[in-house]
Amino acid sequence: MPGPYTAVRARLKAGTSPRIMEMMETPLTVVILAAGLGTRMKSRKAKVLHRAGGKALVEHVVETARALTAPERIFVVVGHQAGEVERMLAGTGVRFIQQQEQKGTGHAVVSGRDALSGLDGYLMVLYGDSPLLRVETLRRLVEMEAAGSAAATLLTARMADPTGYGRVIRDGQRGVRRIVEQKAATREELEIREANMGIYCFRADLFWRHAGEIRPDNPAREYYLTDMAEILNRAGHTVQPLEIDDAGEALGINDRLELAAADRILRDRKLRELMVGGVTIEKPETVTIDADATIGMDTVIEPFAQIRGKTKIGENCRIGSCAILEDAELGDEVEISPFTMVARSRLERRAQAGPFARLRMEAHVCEDAHVGNFVELKKTRLGAGAKAMHLAYLGDSDIGAAVNVGAGTITCNYDGFQKHPTVIGDGAFVGSNSTLVAPLEIGPGAYVAAGSVITQPVPADALGLGRAHQVIKEEWAKKRRALKRGSGAAGRVPGAAR
């Protein structure tokens, strides 16, 4: 029947807005249940804090909810490790409801009565342990609820093995009469394959009118949200199912096996999304990429690479085998060779690092600069076109453009108490195996002789030489051999015995 949302649905079909409820005159409130400990995880950490696909379970659900409604209309029910959950979600703008004692999913929603019951429109309830949900499915759920006259619409799926899930008892073909939990089900009811996915859209006014009728009259002595189906039916309303084909999408994570399964699915989705978007991923089954990473077109990811956190990679880059990038930022055409680690660091256009390099704590490699094997950069800027190709530690340093840092160069940035800076001007040349004792300044165009220990500033264009002068003793070796031969050690090359 044509309801008040006909026009909205037409616009939705045209795909004009991501946030469906902002266009509807009746708003949507989303409540995410995240207060449980999750006994089956066997963990000291609250279940929703466990990670899959590079993000905590609850972060995935919040992100999905944010695509549906404004953050101030999203409420997360917290209890176990509430502080940690709130901290994790602090930047999202969602609001929190405290559930002091975990007495069941129905009790969790009702804990928010003060904050929620005044909000009109629709009330969607999601579980914080369902990270695989797709926004499109939730949109369909809201649309279906908004289109008809049912008091609630809930997501169901037929599962090969619905063990652990609530079973859906249908009322004829169109309605749901009630949901029976695994623990409370009869043997006959356990035969039912249609499971409750734990995703509901209620008419808010009807929900709050009847929520008080939930009773803990079940073997677990819990207040089950699922009882609302029967309660609404009893009050003369209808509850309708939205049956989806892929139960995998609503998988609730209860133990570590399901966590691993969700991780696999989320990562697979991410890889597909990237490949469809023009990224080449070699042997994708070996590559790990977190949900929030972004990668530009024509970039090639080699086998066993790990791209974590909020890493941003430009176009036409190459990420070598077994490289690990975490919260890294790479411009276009950057090359990371195998076995290189980059954490919280930035490489500009055409920069190169590795193999076996380590960049950490805000290292910044400018355009066309190269970092080679066994080089570590910490809180260091390496200027445009500068090179540190082999075996170096550069910490707390600002290194100018086109500087050459020789093999084995070490900045002695730490005196046992404090860190000190090293500044090297544009075009300077630091000879191999130099020890640069910070705080230190080497002027532009200066030259440091190989093997120097430099403790004083080297002015621009000067030579800094900090090593013992070489001494030559003509004929010394020959004389020594003759001496040894005289004493009976004939034929032996000096020093060769040991």
Name which position in 252, 354, 383, 443 contacts Ca ion (CB under 5 A).
252
- Name the residue whose CB lies closest to Ca ion: 252
Q: How many CA atoms lie within 13 A of 111 on its CB side?
A: 26
Number of H helices, E strands in the chain: 12, 39
CB 60 to ligand UD1: min, Å: 12
400 binds, among ligand UD1, Ca ion, none (CB under 5 to 8 A by kind): none
Stretch that binds Ca ion, among 125-133, 179-187, 289-297, 343-351 (CB under 5 A): 125-133
Nearer to Ca ion by C-beta: 38 or 121? 38
Any contact of residue 30 with ligand UD1 (CB under 6 A)?
no
Name which position in 8, 31, 74, 77 contacts ligand UD1 (CB under 6 A).
77
Active site residues per annotation: 390
Any contact of residue 33 with ligand UD1 (CB under 6 A)?
yes
Any contact of residue 36 with ligand UD1 (CB under 6 A)?
yes
195 binds, among ligand UD1, Ca ion, none (CB under 5 to 8 A by kind): ligand UD1
224 binds, among ligand UD1, Ca ion, none (CB under 5 to 8 A by kind): ligand UD1
Give the contacts of 342 (CB within 8 A, at least 6 positions apart). Answer: 323, 324, 325, 326, 328, 330, 336, 353, 359, 360, 363
Determine contact, residues 494/479, Cβ cutoff 8 Å: no
94: tokens are 């969602």
What is the distance between the alpha carbons of residues 155 and 76, in angstroms, rounded to a whole number?
20
Q: What share of the chain is helix, strand, coil (3-state, %, to 5)?
A: 25, 30, 45
User: b/e for 95-120, b at 16 or more Cβ within 10 A?
Assistant: bbbebeebbbbbbbbbbbeeebbebe
Any contact of residue 50 with ligand UD1 (CB under 6 A)?
no
Site string for ligand UD1, 228-267 (x = CB under 6 A): ------------------------x-x-------------
76: tokens are 């997360």
CB 67 to Ca ion: min, Å: 22
Give the contacts of 449 (CB within 8 A, at least 6 positions apart). Answer: 431, 434, 463, 464, 465, 466, 467
> What residues from 88 to 107 belong to the interface with ligand UD1 (CB under 6 A)?
99, 102-105, 107
What is the distance between the alpha carbons of residues 40 and 252, in angstroms, rounded to a whole number?
12
CB 28 to ligand UD1: min, Å: 20
Any contact of residue 198 with ligand UD1 (CB under 6 A)?
yes
- Name the residue whose CB lies closest to ligand UD1: 166
48 binds, among Ca ion, ligand UD1, none (CB under 5 to 8 A by kind): ligand UD1
Any contact of residue 34 with ligand UD1 (CB under 6 A)?
yes
Stretch that binds ligand UD1, among 190-198, 290-298, 428-436, 470-478 (CB under 6 A): 190-198
Stretch that binds ligand UD1, among 29-37, 137-145, 315-323, 457-465 (CB under 6 A): 29-37
Any contact of residue 208 with ligand UD1 (CB under 6 A)?
no
Nearer to ligand UD1 by C-beta: 107 or 237? 107
Give the contacts of 135 (CB within 8 A, at least 6 positions apart). Answer: 64, 67, 68
108 binds, among Ca ion, ligand UD1, none (CB under 5 to 8 A by kind): ligand UD1
Any contact of residue 165 with ligand UD1 (CB under 6 A)?
yes
Could you give the strand order of the β-sheet that contains 312-313, starting from the edge strand earlier in sequence? 294-295, 312-313, 329-330, 346-347, 364-365, 381-382, 397-399, 422-424, 440-442
Determine contact, residues 351/357, Cβ cutoff 8 Å: no
93: tokens are 């703008």
Q: Where are the beta strands (DSSP E) in 317-369?
A: 318-319, 324-326, 329-330, 335-336, 341-343, 346-347, 352-353, 358-360, 364-365
Q: For residue 397, count CB atoms less than 10 angstroms from its CB and return exposed for 0-12, middle for 13-18, buried for 19 or more.
A: buried
Any contact of residue 406 with ligand UD1 (CB under 6 A)?
no
Any contact of residue 129 with Ca ion (CB under 5 A)?
yes
CB 73 to ligand UD1: min, Å: 19
- Write out the residues near ligand UD1 by the rule CB under 6 A: 33-36, 47-48, 77, 99, 102-105, 107-108, 127-129, 165-166, 179, 181, 195-198, 224-226, 252, 254
- Write out the residues near Ca ion by the rule CB under 5 A: 129, 252, 254
